[in-house]
Amino acid sequence: MKLATYLVDDRISFGAVTDDGIVDLGSRLDEVDDLKGLIAAGVDRAADVVASTPPDLATDAVHLLPPIPNPGAMWCAGINTHSHFAEAGARMGFQELPKDPMFFLRAANTLVGSGEPIEKPKLEPAFDYEGEIAVVIGERCRNVTVDDAWGHIAGYSCFNDGSARQYQRRGFQVTTGKNGYHSAGFGPWLVTADELAPADLSLETRVNGELRQRMAIDDLIFSFADLISHISEVTWLEPGDVLVTGSPEGAGALREPPTFLGEGDVVEVEVAGIGTLTNAVEEQRL
């Protein structure tokens, strides 16, 4: 299933996106409040509703929000592709591939849905894109093995890890540059794990229609399961938590010459089997 969170008639709801429109699950599943709650309860309970119910809404009649607007935690893997390591690792002083994944955290208020603008901080001259695949946790886990970690994935989505490079470089950590308000696109929806084979996933990032990034899944240094297993060694992963899994070569900061985002640019992140996340760029107004 494709599961989305959206605004319609001044209310936030969630539903299943079909070829004919959206089945509004928020008005039918009284026992869950949102998509994160449905994931925790088990998305299978929505399958019968979707199979027996005609769509309530046209897909273009809703305002898409991030699939999980309220993740309890959002773990983002840094330099987790061979291609990005090759272009950036030496500049950062890395001589060999990391033995463990590197992470930073994002706040929920950095997220916008597909079709919404991402915001360039007012004083940031080097606002950048990074197309990535997002993994959403389906079952609570702690100290899970790599083999078992696959069973704890609810589904997958597209992510644009919008990055304020000046702020990222000015500190000893990347946190500020990765947490600009409304700086990251997430969506357009979540595709459940039973619908996709991870080995078949691939990614493209385009800016104003120009291909900037391309990634096959074997570009990842640490697999989705590796990331889940590693995090679960130190903390619980909960249903609805999000892992942003790594961007390939081609981000604007490492192009020759560097090419950054400005007002009116449009970034598209397309993942095979999921769809396309689209966000225009706007300057911070306040």
38 & 177 share domain: no
Q: What's the rounded Cα separation, in Å, for the pair 261 and 239?
A: 33
Residue whose pair of structure tokens reads 């916008």 in the numeric block:
112
Burial degree of 55 (CB within 10 A; 0-12, 13-18, 19+) = middle
**Mean per-residue pLDDT, 189-197:** 97
Task: Let me know: does 23 contact 53? Beta carbons within 8 Å.
Answer: yes
47 & 95 share domain: no
56 & 91 share domain: no
Tell me the percentage of the chain whose pLDDT exceeds 90: 92
9 & 122 share domain: no
User: CA separation (Å) from 105 to 95, 102, 192, 214?
Assistant: 25, 11, 24, 24
28 & 83 share domain: no
Per residue in 51-106, pLDDT (tens digit) is 999 999 999 999 999 999 999 999 999 999 999 999 887 677 777 888 999 999 99
- Please say if the pLDDT value at position 230 is more than 70: yes
pLDDT of residue 263: 97
Q: Report the number of distinct structural domains present in the chain.
A: 2
158 & 212 share domain: yes
83 & 181 share domain: yes
Residue whose pair of structure tokens reads 């997958």 in the numeric block:
156
- Final residue of a domain: which of 65, 94, 109? 65
25 & 111 share domain: no
Helix (H, G, I), strand (E, B) or coil at 166: helix
Mean pLDDT rounded to a whole number for the chain:
95
Candidate from 43-52, 87-96, 119-128, 249-258 with smallest mean pLDDT: 87-96
61 & 196 share domain: no
Task: Let me know: does 246 contact 84? Beta carbons within 8 Å.
Answer: yes
Domain extent, residue 40, equals 2-65
- Any idea what the CATH number is for the domain that residue 227 is in? 3.90.850.10
Q: How far is CA 222 from the centre of its chain?
A: 17
pLDDT of residue 90: 66
Per residue in 138-185, pLDDT (tens digit) is 999 999 999 999 999 999 999 999 999 999 988 778 999 999 999 999
- Please say if the pLDDT value at position 275 is more than 90: yes
Tally Cβ neighbours within 10 Å of residue 22: 26
**Mean per-residue pLDDT, 275-284:** 97
136 & 230 share domain: yes
pLDDT of residue 94: 75
State the DSSP H helix or E strand holding residue 44, giving kind and residue range, or none if neither: helix 44-52
Task: Let me know: does 132 contact 247? Beta carbons within 8 Å.
Answer: yes
pLDDT of residue 227: 98
Task: Let me know: does 114 contact 185? Beta carbons within 8 Å.
Answer: yes
Q: Nearest-CA neighbor of 105 among 182, 177, 213, 203?
A: 177
237 & 189 share domain: yes
- Please say if the pLDDT value at position 203 is more than 90: yes
92 & 43 share domain: no
- Please say if the pLDDT value at position 48 is more than 90: no
**Mean per-residue pLDDT, 217-238:** 98
- Please say if the pLDDT value at position 270 is more than 90: yes
Tell me the percentage of the chain whose pLDDT exceeds 70: 99
DSSP string, 202-251: EEEEEETTEEEEEEEGGGBSS-HHHHHHHHHTTS-B-TT-EEE----S--
- Please say if the pLDDT value at position 276 is more than 90: yes
Model-level pTM? 0.96
